[in-house]
Chain A
């Protein structure tokens, strides 16, 4: 076999691994979310399928969704309606390219890793807008508009918070950023940066208290109101893949990535990532939803100036020594 073909084969194996990981991990996260929400609301959550803790509930749900009828509403714009879930899933999978799970355990250590992650995660909003517009439903459209305005308000602060870490590490590569944290985690040097990143991340992921695009008490289900069956399942899967990728990036940028004593690096990475995810779930099930005007004014009037000041101070301190 010639060399390019062999290399493509290796790449294909990595691709299959990532795809499998994303799907299984998303099923697990959905189960976790249901369990966490149940505990917070003093319920049991799923317990029957896969006793005693309902381990197989989400797998059963996924199978059920795959066998459902594939419905495209009569008034829908077929093109955008059909393509939207594929776009969201693609952007979620592409994010996994630069996540370092452990030393050497990365799909590809891009030199522009952090910039690449910022660019790829920006694709998600296009998919939500496509879904909302394509459904030809006023609730979907309002959800899509909300997600676009939300993303414009928070993307800037998110990237500025990432950049202050990049200044500290002196590199855009995710692996080098993790290695730069061998002495001290960047959360200790950048507490404000981490806070900004985490809040902006919750807004980017459309999770409560910022889940306005799918606010079920006002908009039925927002942009995915008209979706059902397999397409809806893809949306759901991509949402949790994005949650994992965002939390993994938070760990990489601020919490020292795979670094930690005694345990193997991969275990540390997953421990920290799931800690961030559980905190995000905890917030979702305890905080009430904010209003749209509160959301935009928080983004523009508080987070953006704070992120700018943080970036300026970081740059000054790094230059000063």
Chain B
């Protein structure tokens, strides 16, 4: 039980730090990467909250699609304000702190990734919450239950969403294409 709380606190601090960094980072690309890291932390929080399917979808949609799209758009519109607002020359402390980040990150990533890997392998065995918990009826919430909800009770919103996605797709195409032809 305590393992769960420790993991939650670690993930919460990690996520908030990444989110704060994404807000204050001088370069927009760094902000986008901080945002991506925060998404990853939220995926971990979903695991602690016993919702593995949401964790997977979070990585698939938020990191695989949204963060990629944001990075893509940033690089596609290569403007001075995106290249990065320069840090004022007076703030040497800030600059030094900012330069130290990559060193620490590069050192932290391998152990963090290793830890994530270890937890994935032996999640329940080290005292973390089961990845599917009993619902009110007693049976664990599995992906099948979510599917049943999505396609029975919420079938109409689901279909409306697919129409929304399609219109967003077409809208994005129309907005972003060049008007030359």
Q: Which of A18, A80, A129 has the largest number of chain B CB atoms within 10 A?
A: A129
B157 adjacent to chain A (CB < 8 Å)? no
B52 partner, pick from A4, A107, A112, A129, beta carbons under 8 A: A112
Given contacts A14-B121, A86-B113, A87-B109, contact A148 B126 (CB under 8 A): no
Nearest opposing residue in chain B for A121, CB measure: B64
Indicate the size class of the contact surface on chain B.
35 or more
Given known A111-B131, A123-B63, contact A141–B75 (CB-CB < 8 A): yes
What's the least CB distance linking B152 to chain A, in Å?
A: 15
Asked whether A149 is an interface residue with its Cβ less than 8 Å from the other chain, the reply is: yes
A199 to B7, CA, bound (A): 40
The reply to whether B120 and A79 form a contact with Cβ atoms under 8 Å apart is no
Pairwise interchain contact B67-A7, C-beta atoms closer than 8 A = no
Identify A90's interface contact among B75, B109, B121, CB under 8 A.
B109
In residues 88-142 of chain A, which contact B (Cβ within 8 Å)? Answer: 90, 93-94, 97, 107-108, 110-112, 115-116, 118-120, 122-123, 125-126, 129-130, 133, 141
What is the CB-to-nearest-CB distance from B112 to chain A, in angstroms, rounded to a whole number?
A: 9
Chain A residues with CB under 8 Å of B117's CB are 11, 15, 18, 93-94, 97
| Interface residue ranges, B against A (CB under 8 Å) | 3, 27, 29-30, 33, 36, 52-53, 56-57, 59-60, 63-65, 67-69, 71-72, 75-76, 99, 101-103, 105-106, 109-110, 113-114, 116-122, 125-127, 131-132, 142-143
Binding site for B on A (CB under 8 A): 3-4, 7-8, 10-12, 14-15, 18, 77-83, 86-87, 90, 93-94, 97, 107-108, 110-112, 115-116, 118-120, 122-123, 125-126, 129-130, 133, 141, 144-145, 148-149, 151-152, 155, 172
